[in-house]
Protein backbone atom coordinates (compact mmCIF):
# COMPACT_ATOMS: atom_id res chain seq x y z
CA UNK A 1 0.00 0.00 0.00
CA UNK A 2 1.37 3.39 -0.97
CA UNK A 3 1.76 5.82 1.92
CA UNK A 4 2.62 9.52 2.26
CA UNK A 5 5.95 8.54 3.86
CA UNK A 6 6.64 6.08 1.09
CA UNK A 7 6.17 8.77 -1.55
CA UNK A 8 7.91 11.67 0.21
CA UNK A 9 10.40 9.87 2.45
CA UNK A 10 9.02 11.34 5.66
CA UNK A 11 5.82 11.27 7.71
CA UNK A 12 3.28 14.06 8.09
CA UNK A 13 4.48 16.41 10.84
CA UNK A 14 2.35 17.14 13.90
CA UNK A 15 2.75 20.80 14.96
CA UNK A 16 1.00 23.23 17.30
CA UNK A 17 1.15 26.14 14.82
CA UNK A 18 1.04 26.26 11.04
CA UNK A 19 4.55 26.38 9.50
CA UNK A 20 6.05 29.48 7.92
CA UNK A 21 7.15 30.04 5.22
CA UNK A 22 4.82 27.77 3.29
CA UNK A 23 5.81 25.47 0.45
CA UNK A 24 3.28 24.47 -2.20
CA UNK A 25 2.03 20.90 -1.61
CA UNK A 26 3.21 20.81 2.03
CA UNK A 27 0.98 18.71 4.32
CA UNK A 28 0.92 18.78 8.14
CA UNK A 29 -1.30 18.06 11.15
CA UNK A 30 -2.16 20.98 13.46
CA UNK A 31 -2.57 19.34 16.87
CA UNK A 32 -4.00 22.56 18.37
CA UNK A 33 -6.95 22.68 15.97
CA UNK A 34 -7.06 18.90 15.31
CA UNK A 35 -6.94 19.35 11.54
CA UNK A 36 -4.87 18.10 8.62
CA UNK A 37 -3.78 20.98 6.38
CA UNK A 38 -2.19 21.47 2.98
CA UNK A 39 -0.59 24.39 1.18
CA UNK A 40 -2.03 25.32 -2.20
CA UNK A 41 -1.20 28.16 -4.60
CA UNK A 42 -3.70 30.51 -6.21
CA UNK A 43 -3.58 30.91 -9.98
CA UNK A 44 -5.19 34.38 -10.05
CA UNK A 45 -5.46 37.16 -7.50
CA UNK A 46 -8.54 37.01 -5.29
CA UNK A 47 -10.36 39.36 -2.91
CA UNK A 48 -11.92 38.24 0.39
CA UNK A 49 -13.90 40.07 3.08
CA UNK A 50 -12.08 41.43 6.13
CA UNK A 51 -13.29 43.10 9.31
CA UNK A 52 -15.36 46.30 9.09
CA UNK A 53 -14.14 49.71 10.24
CA UNK A 54 -15.76 51.14 13.37
CA UNK A 55 -16.05 54.57 11.72
CA UNK A 56 -17.37 54.66 8.14
CA UNK A 57 -15.21 56.96 6.01
CA UNK A 58 -13.68 57.78 2.66
CA UNK A 59 -10.61 59.75 1.44
CA UNK A 60 -8.60 58.59 4.46
CA UNK A 61 -4.96 57.88 5.12
CA UNK A 62 -3.78 54.27 5.41
CA UNK A 63 -0.53 52.54 6.29
CA UNK A 64 0.93 49.20 7.34
CA UNK A 65 0.42 45.65 6.13
CA UNK A 66 -2.57 43.41 5.48
CA UNK A 67 -2.40 41.99 9.02
CA UNK A 68 -1.17 45.11 10.84
CA UNK A 69 -2.70 48.24 9.35
CA UNK A 70 -3.62 51.79 10.31
CA UNK A 71 -6.50 53.97 9.02
CA UNK A 72 -6.80 57.65 9.94
CA UNK A 73 -8.70 60.82 9.04
CA UNK A 74 -11.08 61.08 6.10
CA UNK A 75 -14.72 62.06 5.64
CA UNK A 76 -17.47 60.44 7.70
CA UNK A 77 -21.16 60.43 6.68
CA UNK A 78 -22.71 62.71 5.73
CA UNK A 79 -19.76 65.09 5.17
CA UNK A 80 -17.80 65.58 8.38
CA UNK A 81 -13.99 65.69 8.33
CA UNK A 82 -12.54 63.29 10.89
CA UNK A 83 -9.27 62.64 12.68
CA UNK A 84 -10.33 59.20 13.94
CA UNK A 85 -7.62 56.54 13.98
CA UNK A 86 -8.12 52.75 13.91
CA UNK A 87 -5.77 49.75 14.03
CA UNK A 88 -6.27 46.43 12.19
CA UNK A 89 -4.87 43.09 13.39
CA UNK A 90 -5.78 41.07 10.31
CA UNK A 91 -9.24 40.25 11.66
CA UNK A 92 -10.83 43.32 13.24
CA UNK A 93 -10.42 47.07 13.69
CA UNK A 94 -9.91 48.78 17.07
CA UNK A 95 -10.56 52.49 17.58
CA UNK A 96 -7.61 54.37 19.06
CA UNK A 97 -8.48 56.68 22.00
CA UNK A 98 -6.89 59.68 20.27
CA UNK A 99 -6.90 60.72 16.63
CA UNK A 100 -5.03 63.17 14.41
CA UNK A 101 -4.35 66.59 15.91
CA UNK A 102 -5.59 68.13 12.64
CA UNK A 103 -8.68 66.36 11.31
CA UNK A 104 -8.38 66.15 7.54
CA UNK A 105 -9.18 64.32 4.33
CA UNK A 106 -7.04 63.39 1.36
CA UNK A 107 -3.77 63.42 3.28
CA UNK A 108 -0.61 61.65 2.25
CA UNK A 109 0.82 58.85 4.37
CA UNK A 110 4.12 56.99 4.61
CA UNK A 111 4.92 53.93 6.70
CA UNK A 112 6.81 51.38 4.57
CA UNK A 113 4.79 48.56 6.07
CA UNK A 114 4.68 49.40 9.75
CA UNK A 115 1.63 50.08 11.89
CA UNK A 116 3.63 51.75 14.68
CA UNK A 117 5.75 54.27 12.76
CA UNK A 118 3.75 56.37 10.30
CA UNK A 119 3.77 59.88 8.89
CA UNK A 120 0.68 61.86 7.82
CA UNK A 121 0.96 65.07 5.78
CA UNK A 122 -1.08 67.52 3.75
CA UNK A 123 -4.81 67.16 3.09
CA UNK A 124 -7.83 69.37 3.56
CA UNK A 125 -9.05 70.45 7.01
CA UNK A 126 -12.34 71.97 5.79
CA UNK A 127 -11.63 75.61 6.64
CA UNK A 128 -11.10 77.92 3.61
CA UNK A 129 -8.83 77.78 1.76
CA UNK A 130 -8.84 74.29 3.27
CA UNK A 131 -5.53 72.81 2.20
CA UNK A 132 -2.97 72.21 4.92
CA UNK A 133 0.72 71.39 4.87
CA UNK A 134 0.64 70.10 8.45
CA UNK A 135 2.73 67.01 9.19
CA UNK A 136 2.11 64.53 12.02
CA UNK A 137 4.10 61.56 13.28
CA UNK A 138 2.51 58.38 14.69
CA UNK A 139 4.40 56.44 17.34
CA UNK A 140 1.99 53.55 17.84
CA UNK A 141 -0.50 55.18 20.23
CA UNK A 142 -0.60 58.96 19.61
CA UNK A 143 -0.04 61.52 16.87
CA UNK A 144 2.52 64.31 17.34
CA UNK A 145 2.53 67.45 15.21
CA UNK A 146 6.04 68.13 13.91
CA UNK A 147 7.35 71.62 13.01
CA UNK A 148 7.91 70.79 9.34
CA UNK A 149 5.13 71.65 6.87
CA UNK A 150 4.83 71.02 3.15
CA UNK A 151 6.03 73.82 0.88
CA UNK A 152 2.89 73.35 -1.23
CA UNK A 153 -0.25 72.68 0.81
CA UNK A 154 -2.53 70.27 -1.06
CA UNK A 155 -4.84 67.26 -0.89
CA UNK A 156 -5.13 63.93 -2.69
CA UNK A 157 -1.55 63.74 -3.87
CA UNK A 158 0.49 60.55 -4.14
CA UNK A 159 2.59 59.40 -1.21
CA UNK A 160 4.98 56.66 -0.11
CA UNK A 161 8.15 56.05 1.89
CA UNK A 162 8.88 55.88 5.62
CA UNK A 163 8.38 58.10 8.65
CA UNK A 164 11.82 59.65 8.10
CA UNK A 165 12.07 59.39 4.31
CA UNK A 166 8.68 60.26 2.80
CA UNK A 167 7.59 61.40 -0.66
CA UNK A 168 4.53 63.50 -1.62
CA UNK A 169 3.68 64.38 -5.22
CA UNK A 170 0.97 66.10 -7.29
CA UNK A 171 -2.41 66.93 -5.74
CA UNK A 172 -4.98 69.71 -5.91
CA UNK A 173 -6.08 72.81 -4.04
CA UNK A 174 -9.44 73.09 -2.33
CA UNK A 175 -12.48 74.40 -4.21
CA UNK A 176 -16.19 73.95 -3.41
CA UNK A 177 -16.58 71.89 -6.59
CA UNK A 178 -14.27 69.61 -8.53
CA UNK A 179 -10.90 71.37 -9.01
CA UNK A 180 -9.96 72.56 -12.48
CA UNK A 181 -6.63 72.12 -14.21
CA UNK A 182 -5.31 75.41 -12.84
CA UNK A 183 -5.61 74.10 -9.27
CA UNK A 184 -3.58 70.95 -9.94
CA UNK A 185 0.15 70.62 -9.37
CA UNK A 186 3.09 68.49 -10.48
CA UNK A 187 5.04 69.39 -7.32
CA UNK A 188 7.12 66.70 -5.63
CA UNK A 189 8.51 67.00 -2.09
CA UNK A 190 10.80 64.87 0.06
CA UNK A 191 10.85 64.61 3.86
CA UNK A 192 14.10 63.70 5.63
CA UNK A 193 12.76 63.40 9.16
CA UNK A 194 13.23 67.10 9.82
CA UNK A 195 12.07 69.16 6.84
CA UNK A 196 10.39 69.08 3.43
CA UNK A 197 12.32 70.02 0.27
CA UNK A 198 11.17 70.23 -3.34
CA UNK A 199 12.33 67.67 -5.89
CA UNK A 200 11.73 66.82 -9.58
CA UNK A 201 8.16 67.46 -10.73
CA UNK A 202 5.85 64.85 -12.23
CA UNK A 203 5.09 65.10 -15.95
CA UNK A 204 1.30 65.16 -15.51
CA UNK A 205 -0.41 67.49 -13.02
CA UNK A 206 -3.23 65.63 -11.34
CA UNK A 207 -5.34 65.06 -8.24
CA UNK A 208 -7.06 61.95 -6.94
CA UNK A 209 -3.87 59.94 -7.49
CA UNK A 210 -3.41 59.32 -3.78
CA UNK A 211 -3.15 56.93 -2.28
CA UNK A 212 -2.67 55.18 -5.61
CA UNK A 213 1.05 54.91 -5.06
CA UNK A 214 3.69 52.36 -4.30
CA UNK A 215 7.36 52.28 -3.49
CA UNK A 216 9.93 54.30 -1.56
CA UNK A 217 11.29 57.85 -1.59
CA UNK A 218 13.89 56.88 -4.20
CA UNK A 219 11.88 54.29 -6.16
CA UNK A 220 8.24 55.35 -6.42
CA UNK A 221 5.31 54.73 -8.75
CA UNK A 222 2.30 56.99 -9.32
CA UNK A 223 -0.72 56.04 -11.43
CA UNK A 224 -4.16 57.26 -12.40
CA UNK A 225 -5.87 60.43 -11.17
CA UNK A 226 -7.87 63.43 -12.29
CA UNK A 227 -6.31 65.81 -14.85
CA UNK A 228 -9.27 68.03 -15.87
CA UNK A 229 -13.05 67.98 -15.78
CA UNK A 230 -14.20 65.31 -16.50
CA UNK A 231 -10.99 63.63 -17.67
CA UNK A 232 -9.48 60.73 -15.73
CA UNK A 233 -6.09 59.35 -16.65
CA UNK A 234 -4.41 55.96 -16.76
CA UNK A 235 -0.95 57.56 -16.98
CA UNK A 236 1.80 55.94 -14.90
CA UNK A 237 5.08 57.55 -13.87
CA UNK A 238 8.18 56.13 -12.21
CA UNK A 239 10.49 58.09 -9.85
CA UNK A 240 14.20 57.35 -9.36
CA UNK A 241 14.79 59.71 -6.45
CA UNK A 242 15.52 62.68 -8.73
CA UNK A 243 13.17 62.71 -11.71
CA UNK A 244 9.95 61.18 -13.05
CA UNK A 245 9.68 59.07 -16.22
CA UNK A 246 6.45 58.22 -18.04
CA UNK A 247 5.97 54.46 -18.40
CA UNK A 248 3.13 52.21 -19.63
CA UNK A 249 -0.39 53.27 -18.63
CA UNK A 250 -3.04 51.30 -16.77
CA UNK A 251 -5.77 49.55 -18.73
CA UNK A 252 -8.57 51.47 -16.94
CA UNK A 253 -8.36 55.26 -16.54
CA UNK A 254 -9.69 56.33 -13.14
CA UNK A 255 -9.31 58.69 -10.19
CA UNK A 256 -9.59 58.27 -6.41
CA UNK A 257 -8.19 54.77 -6.69
CA UNK A 258 -5.96 52.96 -4.22
CA UNK A 259 -2.68 51.15 -4.56
CA UNK A 260 -0.15 48.94 -2.80
CA UNK A 261 3.23 47.36 -3.40
CA UNK A 262 6.55 48.59 -4.78
CA UNK A 263 7.87 50.34 -7.87
CA UNK A 264 8.33 47.00 -9.66
CA UNK A 265 5.45 45.01 -8.15
CA UNK A 266 2.37 47.16 -7.60
CA UNK A 267 -1.40 46.79 -7.34
CA UNK A 268 -4.08 49.30 -8.43
CA UNK A 269 -7.71 48.88 -7.37
CA UNK A 270 -11.03 50.69 -7.24
CA UNK A 271 -11.68 54.32 -8.17
CA UNK A 272 -14.05 56.33 -10.33
CA UNK A 273 -14.09 55.73 -14.08
CA UNK A 274 -14.72 58.47 -16.65
CA UNK A 275 -18.11 57.20 -17.86
CA UNK A 276 -20.60 60.02 -17.03
CA UNK A 277 -21.81 60.15 -14.37
CA UNK A 278 -18.92 58.97 -12.21
CA UNK A 279 -19.04 55.20 -11.80
CA UNK A 280 -17.36 53.30 -8.95
CA UNK A 281 -15.26 50.37 -10.07
CA UNK A 282 -13.74 47.36 -8.35
CA UNK A 283 -11.30 46.74 -11.22
CA UNK A 284 -7.89 45.47 -10.12
CA UNK A 285 -4.61 45.65 -12.06
CA UNK A 286 -1.12 44.28 -11.42
CA UNK A 287 2.14 46.02 -12.38
CA UNK A 288 5.24 43.90 -13.07
CA UNK A 289 7.73 46.73 -13.47
CA UNK A 290 6.97 47.14 -17.18
CA UNK A 291 3.24 46.86 -17.85
CA UNK A 292 -0.20 46.56 -16.23
CA UNK A 293 -2.34 43.40 -16.40
CA UNK A 294 -6.04 43.33 -15.51
CA UNK A 295 -6.74 40.80 -12.76
CA UNK A 296 -9.70 38.51 -13.55
CA UNK A 297 -11.22 39.10 -10.11
CA UNK A 298 -12.38 42.56 -9.06
CA UNK A 299 -13.25 43.75 -5.55
CA UNK A 300 -16.60 42.48 -4.29
CA UNK A 301 -17.71 46.07 -3.66
CA UNK A 302 -16.98 48.65 -6.37
CA UNK A 303 -15.81 51.85 -4.65
CA UNK A 304 -13.58 54.92 -4.72
CA UNK A 305 -11.63 57.14 -2.29
CA UNK A 306 -10.36 53.97 -0.62
CA UNK A 307 -7.59 53.52 1.90
CA UNK A 308 -5.02 51.17 0.38
CA UNK A 309 -1.92 49.55 1.83
CA UNK A 310 0.16 46.36 1.82
CA UNK A 311 1.92 44.55 -1.01
CA UNK A 312 0.89 43.18 -4.40
CA UNK A 313 0.69 39.72 -2.85
CA UNK A 314 -1.20 40.83 0.28
CA UNK A 315 -3.05 44.15 -0.04
CA UNK A 316 -5.81 45.78 1.96
CA UNK A 317 -8.71 47.94 0.64
CA UNK A 318 -10.27 50.00 3.44
CA UNK A 319 -13.59 51.87 3.52
CA UNK A 320 -14.26 54.33 0.71
CA UNK A 321 -17.44 55.41 -1.01
CA UNK A 322 -20.09 54.22 -1.03
CA UNK A 323 -19.02 51.16 1.00
CA UNK A 324 -18.05 53.14 4.08
CA UNK A 325 -16.93 50.47 6.53
CA UNK A 326 -16.06 47.36 4.56
CA UNK A 327 -12.53 45.98 4.28
CA UNK A 328 -11.31 43.59 1.59
CA UNK A 329 -8.09 41.56 1.55
CA UNK A 330 -6.26 40.71 -1.67
CA UNK A 331 -4.17 37.57 -2.15
CA UNK A 332 -1.96 37.85 -5.20
CA UNK A 333 -1.63 35.25 -7.95
CA UNK A 334 0.55 32.28 -7.10
CA UNK A 335 0.66 33.07 -3.37
CA UNK A 336 0.68 29.97 -1.15
CA UNK A 337 -2.45 29.52 0.96
CA UNK A 338 -3.34 27.15 3.81
CA UNK A 339 -6.35 24.88 3.29
CA UNK A 340 -7.92 22.48 5.78
CA UNK A 341 -8.26 18.93 4.44
CA UNK A 342 -11.79 17.56 4.73
CA UNK A 343 -13.48 14.37 3.61
CA UNK A 344 -16.11 16.21 1.58
Q: pLDDT digit string (tens) for 141-188?
A: 999 999 999 999 999 999 999 999 999 999 987 544 444 445 889 999
In this predicted structure, the answer to whether residue 267 has a pLDDT above a threshold of 70 is yes
pLDDT at 213: 73
Distance in Å from the first CA to the final CA of the chain: 23
* Burial of 209 (C-beta count, 10 Å sphere; 0-12/13-18/19+): buried
In this predicted structure, the answer to whether residue 1 has a pLDDT above a threshold of 60 is yes
* Burial of 219 (C-beta count, 10 Å sphere; 0-12/13-18/19+): middle
| Residue range 187-193: mean pLDDT, rounded | 96
In this predicted structure, the answer to whether residue 4 has a pLDDT above a threshold of 70 is no
- What single DSSP character describes residue 207? B
Higher pLDDT, 229 or 179: 229
Q: Mean of the per-residue pLDDT values for the chain?
A: 89
Architecture of domain 46-331: 6 Propeller (2.120)
For the chain, give every domain's residue range.
4-41, 46-331
In this predicted structure, the answer to whether residue 13 has a pLDDT above a threshold of 60 is yes
pLDDT at 238: 96
Contact (Cβ atoms closer than 8 angstroms) between residue 38 and residue 65: no
In this predicted structure, the answer to whether residue 22 has a pLDDT above a threshold of 90 is no
Reported for 320-326, long-range contacts at CB under 8 A and 24+ positions apart, including other chains, are 320/58, 320/258, 320/270, 321/58, 321/280, 322/280, 324/53, 324/56, 324/57, 324/58, 324/77, 325/52, 325/53, 325/54, 325/55, 325/56, 326/49, 326/52, 326/53, 326/301
* Burial of 292 (C-beta count, 10 Å sphere; 0-12/13-18/19+): buried
Amino acid sequence: MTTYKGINGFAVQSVATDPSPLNEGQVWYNNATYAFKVTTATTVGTWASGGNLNTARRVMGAAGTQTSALAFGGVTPPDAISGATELYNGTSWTSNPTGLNTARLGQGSASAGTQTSTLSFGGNDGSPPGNTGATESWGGSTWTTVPATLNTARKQGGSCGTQTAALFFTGGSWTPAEPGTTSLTTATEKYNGTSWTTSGNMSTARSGIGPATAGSQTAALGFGGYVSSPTRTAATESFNGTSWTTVNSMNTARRNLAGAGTQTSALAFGGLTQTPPDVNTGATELWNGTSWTTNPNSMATARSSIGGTGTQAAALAIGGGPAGVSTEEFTGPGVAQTKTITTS
